[in-house]
Chains A and B, each alone.
Chain A
């Protein structure tokens, strides 16, 4: 059973639909025991990283998540809160699983913010990208990005920044893009996560 962590950070419908298309069984929960006993855990999230941390704290989940030993996948803001800290949440520590600092994009000529749409990945490595071509296009929607760090397992370039499009540290995985909206490639990435 997959636990999708429900902490009131955006609509979970797309993720649920993506898992349904793959025939995966899941439960949407904020219950610590259910999360601890799940085979896989997904931490989604759309919105404000500061609010996301507040909502996790309110539900007593930061230590529960940090202590997980099964595969965990953070998506979008879910990945960002797994980082050390974020410019979107000044003075507030995030979960600190990935050793990255999250910064805001600066709009540049020809580069709109949010970074919205399909961009290709570079330097993909590891299990998430098994069987995929080297630079797949995936769907992004975000205004903040994780800097490169030793946990980076895929990069992407935008508005003068090279950033972490996917991360991995031990059993923790994260994607800045939305695999649940990234067509067949995204579906393959979710499948790869489920197969870990």
Chain B
């Protein structure tokens, strides 16, 4: 049975992980390659590396880091953050990334999704949507880490992204992100039902119960988590064993 995926997300700034588990016995917790290996050993199904560097030099460092991750890690990994062109995507593919995420750049120029998918396949393109609910009852996609509004509505934008060639949708509710109060499961379920491509849930997990809920009631195909792992609240193995005990198919 196809397993529900658990995906830790590592934020990287100037080539160093700025949020990651502090593994016992690991000398350098900022080393992105070593952390990726540790997560893979613990049972992560995929990894996401997000470049949050603000400088050109930082971005160059990130591309070199992607090559090193590809050499060392034997599970799929996705990279994102600041990808704005087919050239950016090509560089990361050449470095060995299995997938990329597009966010603000796809909203600014939706054709980019199709251009990258046409060249490297749909499976290579994850479209990330950061959305918040508005007073009109609709979910509005935002850009630049939730700081700017856009004219895109979550459901129609997700469908448009799918039609343009996205292979997966990574949806983060900006209303829930960082609250550790759980995911908006009804919204996830409606989103998942409206698409034929997988949906990755992100932002809001405060407990293993929350993750179980979004993978069942929320019909998400995967859960991306950051703080729940980074602060050592749960290990990936613990999360997966809990999910398995609830009858959710996971790779253990």
A contacts, CB < 8 Å to B: 10-11, 13-14, 17-18, 20-21, 46-47, 107, 110-120, 137, 139, 141, 157-158, 180-184, 186-187
Contact = CB atoms under 8 A, between A and B. Distances in A.
Report the contact-size class of chain B (Cβ under 8 Å from the partner): 20 to 34
Contacts of B221: 112, 116-117
Pick the most buried of A107, A118, A182: most chain B CB atoms within 10 A of its CB. Answer: A118
B98 to A, nearest CB: 7
B222 interface: yes
A13 B93 CA distance: 9
Closest 7 CB pairs of A and B: A137-B251, A13-B96, A118-B3, A118-B251, A141-B123, A107-B196, A112-B198
A113 B195 CA distance: 10
Contact of A116 (B70, B96, B168): B168
B2 A115 contact: yes
A83 B3 CA distance: 27
Contacts of B196: 107, 112-113
Interface in B223-252: 251
Interface of B: 1-3, 5, 40, 45, 70-71, 74-76, 93-96, 98, 120-123, 167-168, 195-198, 219, 221-222, 251
Contacts, number: 82
B70 A181 contact: no
A180 B96 CA distance: 12
Contacts of A116: 123, 167-168, 198, 221
A139 B251 CA distance: 10
27 contacts: A11-B96, A11-B120, A13-B95, A17-B71, A18-B74, A21-B71, A47-B121, A107-B196, A110-B219, A113-B196, A114-B167, A116-B123, A116-B167, A116-B168, A117-B2, A117-B45, A117-B221, A117-B222, A118-B3, A118-B5, A118-B251, A119-B3, A180-B74, A181-B75, A181-B76, A186-B74, A187-B74
A118 B167 contact: no
A26 to B, nearest CB: 15
